[in-house]
Structure 1
Amino acid sequence: MTFGSHAETFAGRPVVQVPADGPLPVVAGPVCWRIADWHFDEGSQKVALSEQFRERLDRFVDQAGDRVEALVVGAWGYAAFHQAPIAQLCAAAPRLPRLRALFLGDMTVEECEVSWMRVGDVSPLLTAYPELEVLRVRGGEDFTFSPVRHDRLRTLSVQSGGLSREFVGAVLDSELPALTHLDLWLGTDDYGGDTAVSDLDALLAGKLFPALRRLGLRNAEIADDLAAALATAPVVRRLERLDLSLGTLSDEGLAALLAGQSLTHLTTLDLHHHFLSEEAVARVTAALPGVEVDVSEPQEADEDDGEIYRYTAVSE
């Protein structure tokens, strides 16, 4: 799987595209606006925000800033050549007083590989928008985070083909007392995903984020190790949803998970895109009859010269 389409909904609202020029379309009810401007500037030096995108975003904020509650930001030029508009979004905060949900980086693989997306430090967005409740960010190159305190954020989702331990550590060092949903796409070491299970010790021990009820450790090549750690992790006892999807989970990891603490209190266990045998799939669904278990999208491992290879859904 790669990112083959744009988000059609975000924060529970249908996504409506901001036109390149002219008035905004008339909408009925709450919507999420999406702004994007893909263009390939071969002469770019990979150092600055696209002026073309800057003008489009400024025009949109002038048109509707005081009414925007949810915003998706797609291509900001060619994201491998241009920096993400984080500073511009932060500067626009006084003109976006009602913004509560933001998705930065809604691009398809045709627009930019996720590992090539130049993003920068996304945590200033939280400082600039103290009322923000949902933040989803996607990126790969120059993708960082700094520890912050934010009293309103309920959902934080970080999508990447390789999430560094420094990024993860900064998230876990943040004070997010209202956070109910944390979603980390750990990825692979080939694309910077060097986070180890030990880097998650405080999270798994239940010492962080007192309101947390939904945890996703997704798109991980260390899925089996995560499953083994979660088998005894105290944080699991207060979760409603556990998500290990999009990774390389095998029969070994699932056996370790099921051999541990009870999971029957969960409402959802998401394992889709997995490398489980039919027998393992039958076992987990039988073991958790009251839980919604997603075991869709089974994958086949590759074999080369006696070596077995399993791949995450998103890497490059």
Structure 2
Amino acid sequence: MSLEEIVVRKQRAHFGFRYEHQYQAILNAQKLLNSVTIFNMNRFSDLVKDYEDELYLIDQYYRKFTLHLDQIDEHANFASLQNVVEKHYKQFLDEIGRTWNELFSLDERPSVLDFYDNYAKSKTKTVVIISDALRYEIAKEIQQSVENEKKFSTKMTTIFSVLPSVTEFGKAASLRSGQESYEYLSGNDVHVNGLPTQGTKARDKVLKVKNPNALAITYSDVVDRSNAKELRDLFNGKEIIYLYHDQIDRTGDHGQEMQVFDAAERTVKELKAVIPYIANGANVQRFVITGDHGFIYTRSAIEEYEKIENPSNLENDRVERRLLLVITNMMKLGLSQ
């Protein structure tokens, strides 16, 4: 009998529900440890395909393990298991990160710069949900969750974000169409077709240049409608709607990184619920869900030896914890440009 079969039997037993988090933490730990492998690839296409098909599950198992572990009071009983999981997961991230960077090619998958033309634009009324920091494995869970409802058919494809893969660049890139310009000016200011893209109102203007019947709104704009009529009125006459959802990134960026996996769970539930809400209330049958970038997170702290010193010495360079935007070439260990 496998561990998964044992867990299922235990959960069905009397009082089994009391130990749901313990069972799920153990089960996801085992799945992660059984899935971690040694990389021996020399083609980027193989690595991307393996991640799309299987390796993404390692990120998902880690997220689920940590999520359930956080709900357990007797945390000390799981300390040894957590140490093992952390060790193997960080080794996985190191290996896949190194292999990815060595083989990386932006041309391996379509670019988010072509997202509007390839996915958003349609003859059918379409709601595009852009969830901030929606990484691949969370999107896979949303897909499975939606399919389980048996009300929608789904298809998932991979596109590559732009670099640096942060909010203002990713959100702007998803607005571009045709030969429109995509230009970084300074700070958080990225322009598409000569127009600013910071904030929902600015993005609405960019969309309306392409289609006067387009609309950019936030998740709150939709769920705060008190009845179906208000929702219909909001979507009436619109052909393409960009709906901006921000749960994961907002949590991580506001000093609550330890809650980012909780935010991921809320994201799955919110997007699973908002699709039928819009479909039924506003008669929309086509949805496209994507993210502006992803994220990497481990519960264990980043050690000092894993960091690099800031190599920038120019006032106009943009220096952040995870990226540098510079006007000169940087040849330094740990940097890629």
TM normalised by structure 1 equals 0.28
Which is greater in Rg?
2
Give 1 or 2: higher strand fraction: 1
TM normalised by structure 2 equals 0.27
